[in-house]
Amino acid sequence: MYDNNSKKLSHLLRARFPYIYITTYEEDRVTKFIKSIALSKTEVKYPREVFTWTQSTGLKTDERIIPNTKSPARLIEYITKYENDSVFILYDFHVFFGGCKQCRPDTAVVRSLRDLIPTLKTGTTRKNIIFVSPELCIPDTLQKDIVLYDFPLPKMEEIKARLNKLISSNKAIDTENLNEEDKDKICKAALGLTMQEAENAFALAMVNDGKLSKNDIDIILGEKMQVIRKTGMLEYVLTDLGIEDIGGLDNLKKWLLKRNNSWSEKAKKYCIPAPKGVLVTGVPGCGKSLTAKAMSTIWQLPLLRLDLGKIFSGIVGSSEENMRKAISTVEAVAPAILWVDEIEKGLNGVSQANDSGVSSRIFGTFLTWMQEKTAPVFVIATANNIHQLPPELLRKGRFDEIFFVDLPTLQERKEIFKVHLTKRLKDDEVCAEVKPDDNLINKLAEMTEGFIGSEIEQVVISALCEAFFENRALRFSDFEKAVANTVPLSQTQKEQILAIREWANVRAVCASSKESIETYEQSDSLGKDISSARGGRRLDV
Ligand code: ADP
């Protein structure tokens, strides 16, 4: 059930790493896991006795409590003298390491742990110490002697086994309409939760109507959204936006469509490497976030948005721990899409050496994960200000492709108008004077040269508001007024747009299709410097 993870832990035990640190809330589950390895001859060759320790009970095994071991000093003394192969699981030791933010490490405890290292490493008996704590806190002086071990959230089979147990021990629950396929769907919805949280979600679904059926999936997903939101760094984004909601960006859309099902059995036959991710940069308000959301619908995968800013600021806990937690949650939900919105904002501090290297370390963790991840997680990073992106992020091998989203071309503006007009112009009375037809779309697209996607959407909304306030049908003049009242970003930030285009010319692929750019260049008259310098390489992906 634990496969690679048990191998990793058994290697650490056998290699006699003195201190292993596991950050988790799941004490029972992790203890069971450690026991399954430490007691197994096949896993560790020399099975070890397993002790657990808490400050309230002291040291104990399944059979006995060891008296006088509640204080850390007595505990360490006992471990030093103990003469059988053993593993000591110490809960909540972070409090002695300065766990709560203002505290300092207990120097006596830290010193005695350092004194214990030679015994653990080279003594005749094999002894390992594992710290299990919900918080990651390691004193500087022990940094080099403690290895971190990532205990994964429960996988599908584990959750299913627990669900089956729950059902069989709860005869009053009606599961008549629950087949194996539904059970799988329910368990899949619970991926990303701890076992306790999954159990709570199942219980909630059951008490609702005394039944468990596939109709409960939404309840479980709802619980999961809450739990994920509580972390403060990740948000489970629910969206129904699809490919038809994106006007233009044909090249980018084509690239994404081609990579759909990359984790399927069929893709394995073609030996296609799993896609890592894309970086979508460019002019703000032109559809980068929209693309991330639509991808989730196109690929039918859950979308988790990562707030890097919160991770780096450490608002919700230690930054490094936050990054690890976020990664392990996303991996547990996988296959999934991880959307790193405005990545440049989060990475702002990386180049500034004023936080004793914490930002660089977290950033390093993220990059290594991106490069080496084996879980089917596709990363879509979006960025407006590419000048703030650290060069390491753009190195080959991090992202499969870097796309540049420019001001929409004439053709693209037509498509964007079409999206927003069809979405909003539905009522016959409202559309008595103007119809959302090609004629209107062509005129509006011609009038809005240099407008970004969000400004186009705003033109449609403003025109409708005008008609609404005057309690009459929509008129073409409402659109004219809305266009006249807009000072487009391409005018107010012309210099910045030119600068990012220049950047993109050598580094990124144009998100628009070649065809659409060619028509743009033939037909648009806006300052030649803008149109002729359109950013991004023109490739057909
Ligand atoms: P950003 O590129 O800054 O992430 P968004 O994707 O958030 O911009 O765009 C803001 C809004 O503008 C979208 O929600 C959508 O309504 C509209 N919009 C922008 N670009 C497009 C587009 N290409 N097609 C349709 N709507 C668009």
Helix (H) or strand (E) holding 138: none
Helix (H, G, I), strand (E, B) or coil at 18: coil
- Tell me the pLDDT tens digit for each residue of 171-181: 777 777 788 88
At residue 378, the pLDDT reads 93
Token pair of 19 as six digits:
């201190």
Locate the ligand 1 atom nearest the alpha carbon of residue 286 and give its number.
20
Residue 100: pLDDT over 80: no
The CA 179 to ligand 1 mean position distance, Å, reads 41
At residue 518, the pLDDT reads 66
At residue 489, the pLDDT reads 94
Average pLDDT, the chain: 87
* Number of CB atoms found within 10 A of residue 367's CB: 16
pLDDT classification of 1: cutoffs 50, 70, 90: very low
- Tell me the pLDDT tens digit for each residue of 464-477: 999 999 999 999 99
Helix (H) or strand (E) holding 141: none
- Tell me the pLDDT tens digit for each residue of 388-432: 788 888 887 789 999 999 999 999 999 999 999 999 999 999 999
506 DSSP 8-state letter: H
* Number of CB atoms found within 10 A of residue 14's CB: 15
Give φ, ψ of 445 to 5 degrees.
Answer: -65, -40
* Share above pLDDT 70 across residues of the chain, in percent, rounded to a whole number: 91
Helix (H, G, I), strand (E, B) or coil at 541: coil
Outline where 431-513 has alpha helix (H).
Answer: 438-447, 453-469, 476-484, 489-492, 494-507
The CA 512 to ligand 1 mean position distance, Å, reads 14
The CA 323 to ligand 1 mean position distance, Å, reads 28
User: Fold for domain 410-490?
Assistant: Helicase, Ruva Protein; domain 3 (1.10.8)
Amino acid sitting at position 314? G
Residue 245: pLDDT over 50: yes
The CA 443 to ligand 1 mean position distance, Å, reads 21
Residue 334: pLDDT over 50: yes
- Provide DSSP, 327-370: HHHHHHH-SEEEEETTHHHHGGGGG---STTHHHHHHHHHHHHH
- Give pTM, 2 decimals: 0.78
Burial of 46 (0-12, 13-18, 19+ CB in 10 A): exposed
At residue 525, the pLDDT reads 46
- Which residues contact residue 426 at a Cβ distance below 8 angstroms, ignoring those fewer than 6 apart? none
In testing the pocket of ligand 1, which one of 421, 457, 459, 461 has its CB within 8 Å of the most ligand atoms? 457
pLDDT classification of 530: cutoffs 50, 70, 90: very low
pLDDT classification of 303: cutoffs 50, 70, 90: very high
pLDDT classification of 215: cutoffs 50, 70, 90: confident
Fold agreement (4-149, 156-230): no
The CA 436 to ligand 1 mean position distance, Å, reads 20
* Number of CB atoms found within 10 A of residue 8's CB: 14
pLDDT classification of 533: cutoffs 50, 70, 90: low
Q: What is the CATH number of domain 4-149?
A: 3.40.50
Which residue's alpha carbon is at the smallest distance from atom 1 of ligand 1? 285
- Provide DSSP, 277-331: EEEEEESTTSSHHHHHHHHHHHHT--EEEE-HHHHHHTTTS-HHHHHHHHHHHHH
Residue 278 near residue 400, CB atoms below 8 Å: yes
Secondary structure of 54-76 as H, E, C letters: ECCCEEECCCCEECCCCCHHHHH
Q: What is the mean pLDDT of residues 487-498?
A: 91
The CA 211 to ligand 1 mean position distance, Å, reads 42
* Share above pLDDT 90 across residues of the chain, in percent, rounded to a whole number: 52
The CA 291 to ligand 1 mean position distance, Å, reads 8
Residue 529: pLDDT over 50: no
The residue behind tokens 């399927």 is 264
First and final C-alpha spacing in the chain: 40
How far from 452 is each of 320, 435, 487, 503, CA to CA, in Å? 37, 23, 11, 19
At residue 478, the pLDDT reads 97
Locate the ligand 1 atom nearest the alpha carbon of residue 246 and give its number.
24
At residue 526, the pLDDT reads 46
Helix (H, G, I), strand (E, B) or coil at 515: helix
- Which residues contact residue 270 at a Cβ distance below 8 angstroms, ignoring those fewer than 6 apart? none
Compare 346 and 233 and report the one with higher pLDDT. Answer: 233
Which residue's alpha carbon is at the smallest distance from atom 12 of ligand 1? 454
The CA 80 to ligand 1 mean position distance, Å, reads 63
At residue 354, the pLDDT reads 54
Which residue's alpha carbon is at the smallest distance from atom 15 of ligand 1? 454
Q: In this structure, are strands 49-54 and 58-60 parallel, antiparallel, or unpaired?
A: antiparallel
Pocket of ligand 1 (CB under 6 A): 246-249, 284-290, 382, 416, 419, 453-454, 457
Comparing CA positions, the residue from 231, 254, 170 lying closest to residue 509 is 254
How far from 523 is each of 409, 515, 528, CA to CA, in Å? 9, 13, 11
In testing the pocket of ligand 1, which one of 296, 339, 454, 512 has its CB within 8 Å of the most ligand atoms? 454
Token pair of 59 as six digits:
């040291």
d(CA 292, CA 253): 11
In testing the pocket of ligand 1, which one of 245, 283, 286 has its CB within 8 Å of the most ligand atoms? 286
- Which residues contact residue 439 at a Cβ distance below 8 angstroms, ignoring those fewer than 6 apart? none
Q: Does domain 243-405 have CATH number 3.10.180.10?
A: no
Comparing CA positions, the residue from 260, 281, 280, 282 lying closest to residue 272 is 260
d(CA 397, CA 329): 24
pLDDT classification of 385: cutoffs 50, 70, 90: confident
Residue 333 near residue 191, CB atoms below 8 Å: yes
The residue behind tokens 């703000």 is 284
pLDDT classification of 350: cutoffs 50, 70, 90: low
User: Fold for domain 156-230?
Assistant: Helicase, Ruva Protein; domain 3 (1.10.8)
At residue 361, the pLDDT reads 77
Q: Domain segments of the chain: what residues?
A: 4-149, 156-230, 243-405, 410-490
Give residue 357's region: left, alpha or beta (phi > 0; psi -120 to 50).
left
Helix (H) or strand (E) holding 227: helix 217-230
Q: What is the mean pLDDT of residues 433-455?
A: 95
The CA 245 to ligand 1 mean position distance, Å, reads 9
d(CA 311, CA 109): 30
Residue 156 near residue 188, CB atoms below 8 Å: yes
Residue 228: pLDDT over 90: no
Which residue's alpha carbon is at the smallest distance from atom 18 of ligand 1? 453
Token pair of 293 as six digits:
């959301």
Comparing CA positions, the residue from 453, 440, 515, 516 lying closest to residue 490 is 453
The CA 231 to ligand 1 mean position distance, Å, reads 27
Give residue 449's region: left, alpha or beta (phi > 0; psi -120 to 50).
beta
Give φ, ψ of 304 to 5 degrees.
Answer: -115, 125
d(CA 478, CA 463): 5
What are the beta bridge partners of residue 399?
396
What are the beta bridge partners of residue 22?
132, 149
Q: What is the mean pLDDT of residues 259-271?
A: 79
